[in-house]
Structure 1
Amino acid sequence: MAQAVRGSARVAVIRLCNPPVNALSTTTIRALEQEVNRANIDPTVKAVVICGANGKFSAGADIKGFPNIGQPGMASLEPVVSLIENSEKPMVAAIEGMAFGGGLEVALGCHYRIANVKARVGLPEVTLGLLPGAGGTQRLPRLIGVPAALDIITTGKHVPATEALKLGILDELVEENTVEAAISLAERVSDQPLGPRRLCLKETPKLPNMEAFLEEAFVKVKKQANGCFSPEMCFQAIKASVYLPFAEGIHKERELFLIQMFSGQAKALQYAFTAQRVSEKWALPTGASWKTAAPQPIRKAAVIGLGTMGQGIVVSLLKAKIRVVALEQDRKHLELARGAIMARLERVALRMQQNGLKLDGYMPDLLHFTLDFGALKGVDLVIEAVFENMAVKKEIFHKLSAACKPEAILATNTSYLDIDEIASVTSHPHQVIGTHFFAPAHIMPLLEIIYGQQTSPTVIATAMKLSKTMGKIGVVVGNCFGFVGNRMLNPYLEQCYFLLEDGSTPEEVDKALEEFGFKLGPFRVADYTGLDVGWRSREGQGLTGAKLPLGTPPRQRDGRRYSPLPDILYENGRYGQKRGKGWYQYDKPGGNVAKSDPWVHGFLSEYRSAHRIVARTITQDEILERCLYSLINEGFRILSDRIVSLPEAIDTIYINGYGWPRHNGGPMFYASVVGLPRILTKLQKYAEANPDIPSLQPSAFLKKLVALGSPPLKEWSSLQGSQHSRL
């Protein structure tokens, strides 16, 4: 609701009140309209301040109400924003916390805007598959110009108050007492003319080369959207602000909003938004709930192993204002890491300053480099980040068991390895947990949190709280080889290699998956991360040529089909971008421009001839089906094994850690849209054609769901089996 409060003898204060973030529900919008009308007719009120309760202006519309938009009885926000704007009494927005979406649109309807220096503003509707629907695409360009409005609206980014002031979104900033400052401003302007302050009366500033600018901007927006339609719709609405009168622009905005509101992409993006929150609610299969456990405080942490991943973890902890002990094996590696970490911290500080954010403290002051395990005695948490080798990790954890206090949490950053085997060498296995960071660790948002058989709920709760403190998305998963993300990735990558064997090219596979929405196809990703990384993982599993027993067929491992293509490239010194050649060629080592490589094409032709493979033309549909459906199929196996209990957890992992296009909702959501019977039929077809590829055999759980009539995704969890180990 909205409450009227007397701010002074002449100023009324209207407070939005719908905790926790003052979402603009139908009730709140109607209450706001009522209070604005009341202030407008009250002769004692000369000006009005609109603010939010509990230090927050408004986070905008409540996503739970989206399905009811357009239904009878639903209040529309734009007429209320127009009511505010057309008032004959000065309206001042007092912004604290955040003004997002409809919250910022209300503020844009006000004649003046004042904000706390720590506040943020933005129009993030595009991230939910929508566009601002209460005049935001028409008022913001009139206020700050098209280039800045395009940047804010088509990306949905949050703008710090300091930047918003420079752009002209805000009129004033204050350190504290925002509402009191707004009342003072309202009193000062109570007799000022309002015409120049009404954005509906302004024209959008035109650039000298406006048509050329818009053409170029549209190409850029479309490229960055990567198949997502909402940024393009936002562009069209902003373009309308340039060429149409205000009222017609509002009509165009509403028309585009309704098109997007009921689109499949909007449903997928809104699902992705809620899936992230739902995936945090999973209780452990034992019945214990980490959600009710009290997390331990983490005041001081240690990171062991300061390679690329370890360096990123150190920076993540420092950004969270946690003291860090950084430990390496020798002086040379320690000094190299020191230089790299300091350089990263400088870049982080520069980015924060560019975004108008202030550092509360100098991060390097929280950091201590050492070679001594004795320095770990007082830490609350250790994150081991050495390379993927079980023997090395067990040796380190054996040392940690003696060096750390009993209540210290011992975490391993691992992509594949068995958490229980690592915990077995410690005297406190209940304190051991897996923390799978994604590179670069200080930038990538996902954190897979892997519990073992003895990991305590308190330790899981602590890891989840730590992920939030670091600004990451933590997802709790069970212990199996590859956990969730990498376990699903394996059959996907297998199919990519098998497609090359069957006659496709890296360019064709990458093109199909990039057009689906991935920013980079699998072979571009392999070149970027380095073919040596994948080779080391396979070498550790005994899959590369060096560890094969005599007599093993060249394209089989343990009786199943295996492609040695990436191994052969690696053994030919083709490491990817770092060497200037991998699946593609580059103009120089470390170059970013991937070009088709005749050597790779010749090599694939020779490989097929050597193995008597007759190359055939492979369609884009087959590429997508074999890659995506094999990945989805493994997702159903993971659900059946209760490695996670929610399909939303799988989707959250794949969107935030593996580049799955958010506008397709995640692999399990995508499966529900495509239709489970279709996926089952296609998998059966490909499995019959490739009996030596077990990953193509349809999951028993997928078959079960189809037999049950393909129930909606939200019901899948209740139909899962009991958990068992897949190690």
Structure 2
Amino acid sequence: MAALTLVSGSVGLITLQNPPVNALSAAVRQGIVDTVQKALSNPQVKAVVICGQNGVFCAGADIKEFSKPMSGPHVVPMIDAIEVANKPVVAAIEGSALGGGLELALGCHYRISQSKAQLGLPEVLLGLLPAAGGTQRLPRLIGVPAALDLITTGRYVTAAEALKLGMVDQVTDKNTVEAAIKFALSVVGQSLESRRISTLPCPCPADMDALFERVMQRVKQSARGAMAPVACVQAVQAAATLPYAQGIQRERELMDTLFTSGQARALQYCFFSQRVVSRWSMPNGARWDNSKPKHVSKVAVIGLGTMGRGITVALALAGLSVVAVETQQQQMMAGQSAVSGMLARAAQKRGVPSVKHQVHYSVELEAVADVELVIEAVFEDLGLKKQIFKRLSSVCKTDTLLCSNTSALDIDELASQTHRPELVVGMHFFAPAHLMKLLEVVYGPRSAPQAVATVMKLGKRIGKVSVAVGNCRGFVSNRMLKLYAEQAVFLVEEGASPEMVDHTLEKFGFPMGLFRMSDLSGLDVGWKVRKAEGLVEPGQMSRVRQGRRYCPLGDLLCEQGRFGQKTGRGWYLYEPAGSREARPDPWLQSFLEEYRARQGLVPRRIDSQEVLERCLYSLINEGFNILQEGIAAGPEDIDMIYVFGFSFPRHRGGPMFYASQVGLSRVLQRLEHYQQQHPDVPYLQPSSLLRRLVSSGSPPIQKWKEVMRTPHSAL
């Protein structure tokens, strides 16, 4: 909806009314068409100002309408009608002008922006492109290179940057609508010919062909198979080489292809799933909505290793007061220096002066006595963590939340060391902790809903996508990852090379294959975990441990000091010293040949399809087991953990959404095939929930919870 009022005697003020963000729903579009027509036909109106209700201009299309048949006026002719108006039309941009909202503003003759507003065309993040003239008008207004940057990345710009680029005509700290009205009155009677962006020539650099070739290569590399960024380049190229009418037709053709694609559905699923996971639930029915979180302003971090430093920085950047404790003086000094440097770099990146953050350092655990929440971040040793929790239980206030940054250990066992187990919650950060978006929030059987709500809210405050999961070995993230990684190593044992496996996974869309990722993280990390589980037998090459198939290749590499990038050798070779470029290692090839010969293994040819199916379907199958056990509330939780924690390609939606796209019956059939081939790998046995979903007709992913809630026989 849109309302028209006459202000200052001769300015028609059109206000978009669709809270909270004034999305361009069918009703709003119809309102714009009607009010613009009324304003232009009213002789009293000499100029028009378009603004949004409640301090927000317009955040673009109503994404909820994407799945419905088109109704109401089309956006392109609506904006064209504004642009051809014979009276000046001014956009008063407050809050945000995103997507269709910015395209609406580009159709206006002038744009006045609030200093704190954000502008952008983020459609590419939903698997789409700006299809209301955005790819045609923006290059004409700010030039091809700048338009390509904004449209292919979907990034937002501040009002200051928008002014510098030429996207807006004026920025104000005062009342934006009043400034726009005053501006509109000042341009009444002036020619509008040069203000109609679609009629302007597109300013193109001399090396335009070379520019588009460079950008296309860069975009294809970073997109990793995503279609939308490539289509965005093609649409902007049309703006640079074709008249507006033909360019807008090319924009529409490209949009039609994207709109019906599986990739767009996956990216829109991710968009909505972020909202779903924030409304977490527990088996007792407690939800974010009915559990009031505690106020937290002062937090402690125990341990200033790599994870502790990142967590400290994340908390400090969010404005929290932090007490950082490291009992080893040398480690304390190193940690303090690292945190200070990270905070300074963060300030520089944000383009703001370095500010004094409230981080206090201590070598005494007693320094945490007055905080509201503690995050233990020492290395992954259950005995050490239990000792710390026992001491924290005595040192901290009776209502202080005690949290552990464990990646796999039993939260309930840690809680058992305290006087108040209901206040113990897991906070599994991902490295680097100040940059990675995911926070896996782990509740044990005795964790209070309020404690979980408090941690979820804290995660949101520090900019994380927080996902609540139940307590089990490895939780959701590492429980699934372990099987994915194990299949990759099995494939190498059987004849694949690390490079071939990595190339296949990267072509699928992962930024880094399993073996490159292992080298980056350090092979010794997994080695320590396997030692703790009693799986490592030094010098032994047995391929059976604890009654199931086991591959000792990783252990054997670690025994030779090959820990990955930090030692210059792992699954790959890194030369010269300190290099991050992974190169195939001739030594490893000889080592694998010798290993297979000693094991009596005849290497076979393995194709990319088998790599994807065995790695991904084992991951997916464990996801179904997790859903069946109630460790995750729904498939969205698993998918957001993998998208934000492990960079599962967003345009594939996450492992569970990908399974729904491939077809559950196909996943089931291939798991049965591989389970028959490898009967000594128990987790290839298809999940009973997967079987139930297939027998229920493979419902869409949004309906899985209905099947999950249906009672079933253990038989």
Unpaired runs of 5+ residues, structure 1, are none
- Residue type at the aligned position of 1:613: L
- Residue type at the aligned position of 1:148: A
**What TM-score does the superposition give when structure 2 sets the normalisation length?**
0.98
Q: Deviations over 1:640-689 (max 9, x none)?
A: 10101211111111111111111111111111111111111111111111
Task: Supply the distance in 2 between the matched residues of 1:521 and 1:44 (Cα, whole angstroms).
Answer: 66
Q: CA deviation at 1:295?
A: 0.6
Q: Deviations over 1:452-473 (max 9, x none)?
A: 1111111111111111111110
- Which secondary structure does the structure 2 equivalent of 1:173 belong to? strand
Task: Supply the distance in 2 between the matched residues of 1:591 and 1:257 (Cα, whole angstroms).
Answer: 42
Q: Is the 8 A contact 2:319 2:357 kept in 1?
A: no
Task: Supply the distance in 2 between the matched residues of 1:437 and 1:634 (Cα, whole angstroms).
Answer: 21
Q: Is the 8 A contact 1:319 1:363 kept in 2?
A: no
Task: Supply the distance in 1 between the matched residues of 2:635 and 2:593 (Cα, whole angstroms).
Answer: 40
Alignment partner of 1:513 out of 505, 512, 518: 505
Q: CA deviation at 1:553?
A: 7.0
Instruction: After TM superposition, list the pairs within 5 Å mapping 1:190-589 onto structure 2.
Output: 190-353=188-351, 358=352, 363-546=355-538, 554-589=542-577
| Aligned equivalent of 1:29 | 29
Q: CA deviation at 1:406?
A: 1.0
Task: Supply the distance in 1 between the matched residues of 2:51 and 2:74 (Cα, whole angstroms).
Answer: 20
- Residue type at the aligned position of 2:27: T
- Which secondary structure does the structure 1 equivalent of 2:357 belong to? helix
| Aligned equivalent of 1:51 | 51
Task: Supply the distance in 2 between the matched residues of 1:706 and 1:67 (Cα, whole angstroms).
Answer: 25
Q: Is the 8 A contact 2:327 2:362 kept in 1?
A: no
Q: CA deviation at 1:363?
A: 4.6
* Identical columns (%): 52
Q: CA deviation at 1:287?
A: 2.1
Task: Supply the distance in 2 between the matched residues of 1:400 and 1:493 (Cα, whole angstroms).
Answer: 35
Matched, 1:688 2:676: yes
Q: Is the 8 A contact 1:321 1:363 kept in 2?
A: no
- Which secondary structure does the structure 2 equivalent of 1:242 belong to? helix
- Residue type at the aligned position of 1:283: S
- Residue type at the aligned position of 1:574: R
Q: Is the 8 A contact 1:240 1:252 kept in 2?
A: yes
Question: 536-545 or 118-127, which moves further after superposition?
Answer: 536-545
- Which secondary structure does the structure 1 equivalent of 2:67 belong to? helix
Task: Supply the distance in 2 between the matched residues of 1:384 and 1:274 (Cα, whole angstroms).
Answer: 32
Aligned structure 1 segments of 4 or more residues deviating by more than 4 angstroms: none
- Residue type at the aligned position of 1:542: G
- Residue type at the aligned position of 1:663: H
- Which secondary structure does the structure 1 equivalent of 2:587 belong to? helix
| Aligned equivalent of 1:62 | 62
**What TM-score does the superposition give when structure 1 sets the normalisation length?**
0.96
Q: Is the 8 A contact 1:318 1:363 kept in 2?
A: no
- Residue type at the aligned position of 1:506: P
| Aligned equivalent of 1:5 | 5
Q: Deviations over 1:433-492 (max 9, x none)?
A: 000101111111010000011111111111111111111100000000011011111111
Q: CA deviation at 1:584?
A: 0.9
- Residue type at the aligned position of 2:29: I
| Aligned equivalent of 1:669 | 657
Q: CA deviation at 1:281?
A: 2.5
Q: Is the 8 A contact 2:6 2:45 kept in 1?
A: no
- Which secondary structure does the structure 1 equivalent of 2:66 belong to? helix
Q: Is the 8 A contact 1:581 1:589 kept in 2?
A: no
Q: Is the 8 A contact 1:640 1:722 kept in 2?
A: no
- Which secondary structure does the structure 1 equivalent of 2:97 belong to? strand
Q: CA deviation at 1:718?
A: 2.3
Are residues 161 and 389 of structure 1, via their aligned partners in 2, closer, same or farther at CA, if it must alter by over 3 Å? same
Task: Supply the distance in 1 between the matched residues of 2:495 and 2:357 (Cα, whole angstroms).
Answer: 56
- Residue type at the aligned position of 2:104: V
Question: 416-425 or 326-335, which moves further after superposition?
Answer: 326-335
Q: Is the 8 A contact 2:317 2:357 kept in 1?
A: no
| Aligned equivalent of 1:115 | 113
Task: Supply the distance in 1 between the matched residues of 2:610 and 2:694 (Cα, whole angstroms).
Answer: 22
Task: Supply the distance in 1 between the matched residues of 2:5 and 2:291 (Cα, whole angstroms).
Answer: 41
Q: Is the 8 A contact 2:277 2:636 kept in 1?
A: yes
- Residue type at the aligned position of 1:314: T
Question: 9-18 or 380-389, which moves further after superposition?
Answer: 9-18
Q: Is the 8 A contact 1:642 1:721 kept in 2?
A: no
- Which secondary structure does the structure 2 equivalent of 1:68 belong to? coil
- Which secondary structure does the structure 2 equivalent of 1:204 belong to? coil
Task: Supply the distance in 2 between the matched residues of 1:147 and 1:553 (Cα, whole angstroms).
Answer: 56
Instruction: After TM superposition, list the pairs within 5 Å mapping 1:57-96 onto structure 2.
Output: 57-68=57-68, 71=70, 73-96=71-94
- Residue type at the aligned position of 1:368: H
Q: CA deviation at 1:63?
A: 1.0
Unpaired runs of 5+ residues, structure 2, are none
- Which secondary structure does the structure 1 equivalent of 2:403 belong to? strand
Question: 635-644 or 273-282, which moves further after superposition?
Answer: 273-282
Task: Supply the distance in 2 between the matched residues of 1:262 and 1:451 (Cα, whole angstroms).
Answer: 39
Task: Supply the distance in 2 between the matched residues of 1:378 and 1:477 (Cα, whole angstroms).
Answer: 29
Task: Supply the distance in 2 between the matched residues of 1:535 and 1:55 (Cα, whole angstroms).
Answer: 54
Question: 104-113 or 370-379, which moves further after superposition?
Answer: 370-379
| Aligned equivalent of 2:168 | 170
Task: Supply the distance in 2 between the matched residues of 1:476 and 1:612 (Cα, whole angstroms).
Answer: 46
Q: Deviations over 1:76-117 (max 9, x none)?
A: 111111111111111111111111100000111111111111
Alignment partner of 2:699 out of 683, 687, 711: 711
Root-mean-square deviation (Å): 1.4
Q: CA deviation at 1:279?
A: 2.2
- Which secondary structure does the structure 1 equivalent of 2:5 belong to? strand
| Aligned equivalent of 2:154 | 156
Matched, 1:608 2:596: yes
Q: CA deviation at 1:534?
A: 1.7
Q: CA deviation at 1:575?
A: 1.5
- Residue type at the aligned position of 2:462: M
Question: 529-538 or 651-660, which moves further after superposition?
Answer: 529-538
Task: Supply the distance in 1 between the matched residues of 2:242 and 2:604 (Cα, whole angstroms).
Answer: 53
- Which secondary structure does the structure 1 equivalent of 2:168 belong to? coil
Q: Deviations over 1:467-525 (max 9, x none)?
A: 11111100000000011011111111110000001000001100111111111110111
- Which secondary structure does the structure 2 equivalent of 1:650 belong to? helix
Q: CA deviation at 1:721?
A: 6.3
Task: Supply the distance in 2 between the matched residues of 1:283 and 1:81 (Cα, whole angstroms).
Answer: 43
Q: Deviations over 1:279-337 (max 9, x none)?
A: 22332111222431111111110111111111111111111111100110121111100
- Which secondary structure does the structure 1 equivalent of 2:577 belong to? coil
Task: Supply the distance in 2 between the matched residues of 1:530 and 1:117 (Cα, whole angstroms).
Answer: 45
- Residue type at the aligned position of 2:399: E
Q: Is the 8 A contact 1:291 1:461 kept in 2?
A: no
